[in-house]
Amino acid sequence: MIAWLQADDPPDAFPPVEQALREPDGLLCAGGDLSPARLLEAYRRGIFPWYSTGQPILWWSPDPRAVLIPAEMKISRSLRKTLRNRGYEYSLNRAFGEVIEHCADQRLRSEGTWISAEMSHAYRRLHELGYAHSVEIWDEGRLAGGLYGLALGKVFFGESMFNRARDASKVALVYLAQEASRRGYEMIDCQLRSDHLSRLGARDMPREEFVRRLERAVTVLAPDRSWAVASDRNEDASK
């Protein structure tokens, strides 16, 4: 059995992550709401929402956790060639709404999508408050790929990415890692391991260590306003 949260429960009324189930891995509790306060409290504790339309809100804290240390980003020879030759440009927060729409587009996701209208609204609200941010990849003025997530303390919590052109989502992650490194961020939370992420340098981290790092890296729930100002760059990320 898992705990059930009520919508009027305090935002921090999550059970300890050690109580998460082993099967399915990381399922911690259900219910509650997607208010900004509850979402922020969840992320600082190593918890995130993930559920399908028609299900109650499900909260997860898997063990191990997939993370990418910015300095450990791996750029393959083919990806380096893409970065050097395709002429992609990137921006921050120029098209957050479009990014989340594309991430939710089932035509671009063979595995389907969990980004319901409710989830989309919740993260758009976090973007308005200065917590959620997007990286956009542009190909001759066309949005070719991107990702979005939350920046808290010195951690970027990745949520989803999409791809409409060769390697565009990978390029978005490369630029995110560079931005995170430039800003002194300790890690990028990738939530669950995949072969795709592993090839880019993500690795498994025991949940206990992940949570311990969060306690050090996320000391206050204040937005990092330096992400909020849209910027555009086209420097060579392959270096």
Residue 94 has pLDDT above 60, yes or no: yes
User: What are the structural domains of the chain?
Assistant: 3-62 (3.30.70.3550), 66-233 (3.40.630.70)
For 200-212, write each residue's pLDDT tens digit: 999 999 999 999 9
pLDDT value at position 86? 86
Banded pLDDT at 115 (limits 50, 70, 90)? confident
Mean pLDDT rounded to a whole number for the chain: 91
User: How many of the other CB atoms lie within 10 Å of CB of 118?
Assistant: 13
Banded pLDDT at 6 (limits 50, 70, 90)? very high
Q: Report the pLDDT averaged over residues 112-135.
A: 91
Residue 236 has pLDDT above 50, yes or no: no
Burial 45-77 (b: 16+ CB within 10 A, else e): bbbbbbbeeeeebbbbbbbbbbbbbbeebebee
For 31-87, write each residue's pLDDT tens digit: 999 999 999 999 999 999 999 888 999 999 999 999 999 999 999 999 999 998 888
